[in-house]
Structure 1
Amino acid sequence: MLLRWNSLVSLGDSFTEGMDDPGPGDTYVGWADRLASMIAQQAPDFRYANFAIRGKMLQEIIDEQVPLAISLKPDLVTFCGGGNDIMVPNSDPDALAEVYEVAVADLRASGSDVVIFTGFDTRSTPLLRSLRGKIAIYNSHLWSIAERYHCRMVDLWSMHVLHDRRAWSEDRLHLSPEGHQRVALKTYEVLGLSDAHAWNEPWPALEQADWVTQRKADLKWAREHVVPWIGRTLRGESMGDGMAPKRPELLPLARATDENCVNN
């Protein structure tokens, strides 16, 4: 297969940084790194940068990351943002989409192909179900933007395989390593590099917890993860304050030899 892209820059927040998919030291791997490793198996000189930082709001991604991507002129850009904004009370998905579109227009005008992502369907996540309407509105705008600017779309909303709790880490806000692998495989397919549908392979059977156990787990999750997140939001703090991108330069990514990077 003739590879169309020789360089990739990934932009976004914790989703694209790779939380909670542990890597070497204190770093994370994530779907974007996994995707880059898969592509590099076809092109050993493939170059990759990842500017994503956890906690970033859409405007921060646009102000801090998009200009860097444009300056590097990569063949391919993945751009995902707005999820943290949607979670803020009184946020406006219509206004967010207008901001998002300007960034996509700039990226496309620079000559890069662009991959964008819908928001997840939160129907399986307690306390986040109320956001489904806003996410759906935002997603409808993203589909229109993708069509207007000829972007490829990874439809996370329709990935029913991600409704399994094994796709998510303990905080239920970030994907597990297997969840990240599923998204990497889906993106790989969207790029036309595979038609195996490996991302949609059924999960092994899992015994369901009883109602009381599930409710206890929900309360524990809210206490340990949701309440601290709300506190940070009210204080104007972010998990990514003071952090630098994990892969800030567009450098060659050697052919993957560690099976854990690609297949876990």
Structure 2
Amino acid sequence: MMWQRYVAIGDSTTEGLDDPDGAGGYRGWADRFALAVARAQGGLEYANLAIRGRTARRIRAEQLPAALELAPDLATVVAGMNDVLRPSFDAREVGAEVEAMQRALVDQGATVLTFTLPDPAPVMPIARPLRGRVVALNEELRRATARTGATLLDLGAYPVASDPRLWSDDRLHANTPGHERIAAALAYTAGLPGADDGWSRPLEPAPRRRRAEVVRAELAWTRRHLAPWLLRHVHGRSSGDDRVAKRPVPLPVDLIVPNDAAGEDIVGSAG
């Protein structure tokens, strides 16, 4: 199948945190997936409406109407992690929001891809109590996708998705190798020529760390990331306040990306 226009909606992971583009912004799996599609078929228009900090309800209210207006024939809908972090989390409600977004785009004729969330506990031990929420949400996402006819990448079913080495220092976002893996997984799921399942293979075993190293790392993470996050949310602020989408208008994907060491084999085995 040839796609003409790809539109991505979602939160910070779709926006691209933490995959620096070398120019002060972020690239991310959606940009990388768009490039893979464009290279596979010789071109593609791409818009990214995602904004960090958005819940599924806000994505549906703020981004879905704009996405429908752009009339994509390829779309990604990824949401839920910001909901999981909130006290009022309800897996069924979040699943219903995602289902409504998928259905609206599918009914308009788009191929819609989505993915389940990785287990947060191996990446962030303090998040172990959230594991049950992620499991419940992933079940809702699987059901929603089966009902709408969207295409599911069951990322949460692969242990490698929770390897801390594929996550950034803040433990909430994938790093560059992590984004590469997600893009490769989407390329494989979408059936792009040359894509394989290399993205699903585990990394080499990590060397065991001393307890003192673990303690220092936990203290540093708490100081740099957890404390500021808690303070921001106590005051009702979001990292996405006053932000706008990084690519609101569909533009042709540049097939030549400077310093793109991983781009040449993005549809193959990443990382």
TM-score using structure 1 length: 0.93
Counterpart in the other structure of 2:38: 40
For the aligned residue pairs, the C-alpha RMSD in angstroms reads 1.7
Distance 1:257 1:223 in 2: 36
Structure 1 partner of 2:131? 132
* Aligned-partner residue type, residue 80 of structure 1: V
Q: CA deviation at 1:82?
A: 1.6
Deviation at 1:176, TM superposition (A): 0.6
After superposition, give the CA deviation of every residue in 1:122-158 in whole Å (9 maximum; x if it has no partner): 1202111111111111111110111111111122212
Q: Aligned partners of 1:51, 1:257: CA distance in 2, in Å? A: 21
SS, match of residue 236 in structure 1 = coil
Match of residue 72 from structure 1: 70
One-letter amino acid matched to 2:20: P
Alpha-carbon displacement from aligned partner over 1:144-189 (angstroms, at most 9, x marks no partner)? 1111111111222122222322101111111110000000000111
For 2:135 and 2:150, the matched residues in 1 are separated by 19
Choose which of 55, 58, 76 in structure 2 pairs with 1:57.
55
**Cα contact 2:77–2:98 (8 A) shared by 1:** no
Aligned equivalent of 2:184: 185
Matches within 5 A, 1:68-147: 68-124=66-122, 125-147=124-146
Is residue 236 of structure 1 aligned with residue 262 of structure 2? no
- Give the superposition deviation at 1:206: 3.4
* SS of equivalent residue, structure 2 residue 155: coil
- How far did 1:37 drift? 0.8
Contact preservation (8 Å) 1:122, 1:131: yes
Aligned to 1:260: 261
> In structure 2, do the counterparts of structure 1 residues 67 and 115 end up closer, same or farther at CA, with 3 Å as the change threshold?
same
Length, aligned pairs only: 262
Give the Cα–Cα distance (whole angstroms) in 2 for the partners of residues 134 and 202 of structure 1.
25
Q: In structure 1, what is the Cα distance between the partners aligned to 2:27 and 2:158?
A: 21
Report the equivalent of 2:149: 150
SS of 2:7's partner is strand
Q: Which runs of 5+ in 2 are unaligned?
A: none
**Range 119-128 or range 28-37, more displaced:** 119-128
Q: 3-state DSSP class of the match of 2:157? A: coil
Letter in 2 for 1:235: H
Give the aligned residue type for 1:242. D
Checking the alignment, whether the CA contact within 8 Å between 1:6 and 1:43 is kept in structure 2 is no
1:242 and 1:260 map into 2 onto residues whose CA distance is: 33
For 1:95 and 1:179, the matched residues in 2 are separated by 28
Tell me the alpha carbon deviations over residues 218-250 of structure 1, each in whole angstroms, 9 at most, x when there is no partner: 122122212221222222211111111111111
2:217 match: 217
Structure 1: distance between partners of 2:254 and 2:72: 17
- Aligned-partner Cα distance in 2 for 1:23–1:8: 20
